């Protein structure tokens, strides 16, 4: 199993994207490393290009939490992305997800800048001043998304219900499965069946040439007869598997 970063360099400073700085964090939300998000996105884009899908991509995270990873990917790779969708079963997470994804729009980021300015005036804290500097830096490089190109919605990804029609057929799914104490599966039933159930439903929302990247811990077997693993690797404590649906492999 390969375990090296191929695309996301070590030299990049990811400080501006830290959780709780410009991007909102929430109590109980998991923090996903920025460099890893960037690496996974770039591996997916590389795979899709080899299959003839040169983008821009419709990206979806069905277990998006506060949409931290999605927002960071939007900041870092917005030029390659057509739309971003995120869903989660937890309405509290979604409040933050909505706020975070709005940072990818000119209006949303300007609002955040105004909020940080108020915090600096009221509290005169270094952390707020640094966050404001980061927000200005992000503003100078943002590729603003139109509001209709980003969406977040409440949805149980392993229920019997189909994904909503408002979700476009997506090219790229990047998702960090619930694990550990912070992010439990919100469903009853056996754990082994969750991933399979979710992958079965997801197949019907995938575009013609797509890739699904699942980040998981080693206890969770990731398999489904409708998908083939095209790459799997470990980075730090996480395992990542890139799956192609059978429609891709038939090409």
Ligand X SMILES: C[S@@+](CC[C@H](N)C(=O)[O-])C[C@H]1O[C@@H](n2cnc3c(N)ncnc32)[C@H](O)[C@@H]1O
Where do contacts with ligand X occur on this chain (CB under 6 A)? 29-30, 32, 63-69, 88-90, 93, 156-158, 176, 178, 183, 185-187
Q: With 0-12 CB in 10 A as exposed, 13-18 as middle and 19+ as buried, what is 250?
A: exposed
Q: Which is nearer to ligand X, 67 or 243 (CB)?
A: 67
Q: How far is the CB of 72 from ligand X (least distance, A)?
A: 8
C-alpha dist (Å) from residue 3 to 39, 95, 105, 145, 244: 12, 35, 34, 33, 20
Q: Which is nearer to ligand X, 17 or 233 (CB)?
A: 17
Q: How far is the CB of 121 from ligand X (least distance, A)?
A: 30
Separation of CA 46 from chain center: 17
Q: How far is the CB of 129 from ligand X (least distance, A)?
A: 26
Q: Which is nearer to ligand X, 62 or 108 (CB)?
A: 62
* Reduced 3-state DSSP string for 77-103: HHHHEEEEEEEECCHHHHHHHHHHHHC
Q: Which is nearer to ligand X, 192 or 246 (CB)?
A: 192
Q: How far is the CB of 58 from ligand X (least distance, A)?
A: 18
User: The dihedral of CA 159, 243, 73, 170: what is its sign?
Assistant: negative
Q: How far is the CB of 118 from ligand X (least distance, A)?
A: 25
| Residue of closest CB approach to ligand X | 65
Q: Which is nearer to ligand X, 60 or 248 (CB)?
A: 60
Separation of CA 193 from chain center: 23
User: Any idea what DSSP says for residue 15?
Assistant: G
């Amino acid at each position: 199993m390969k375990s090296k970063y191929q695309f996301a360099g070590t030299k990049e400073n990811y400080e501006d994207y830290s959780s709780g700085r410009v991007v909102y964090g929430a109590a109980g939300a998991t923090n996903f490393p920025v460099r890893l998000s960037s690496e996974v996105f770039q591996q997916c884009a590389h795979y899709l290009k080899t299959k003839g899908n040169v983008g821009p991509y419709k990206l979806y995270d069905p277990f998006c939490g506060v949409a931290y990873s999605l927002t960071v990917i939007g900041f870092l790779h917005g030029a390659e992305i057509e739309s971003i969708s995120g869903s989660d079963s937890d309405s509290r997470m979604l409040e933050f997800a909505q706020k975070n994804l709005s940072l990818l729009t000119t209006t949303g980021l300007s609002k955040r800048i105004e909020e940080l300015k108020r915090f600096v005036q009221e509290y005169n804290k270094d952390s707020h001043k640094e966050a404001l500097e980061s927000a200005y830096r992000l503003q100078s490089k943002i590729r603003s998304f139109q509001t209709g190109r980003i969406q977040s919605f409440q949805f149980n990804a392993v229920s019997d219900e189909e994904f909503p029609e408002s979700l476009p057929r997506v090219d790229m799914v990047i998702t960090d499965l619930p694990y550990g104490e912070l992010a439990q599966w919100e469903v009853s039933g056996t754990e082994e069946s969750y991933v399979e159930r979710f992958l079965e439903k997801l197949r019907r929302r995938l575009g013609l040439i797509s890739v699904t990247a699942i980040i998981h811990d080693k206890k969770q077997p990731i398999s489904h007869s409708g998908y083939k693993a095209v790459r799997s690797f470990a980075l730090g404590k996480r395992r990542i598997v890139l799956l192609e649906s059978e429609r891709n492999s038939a090409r």
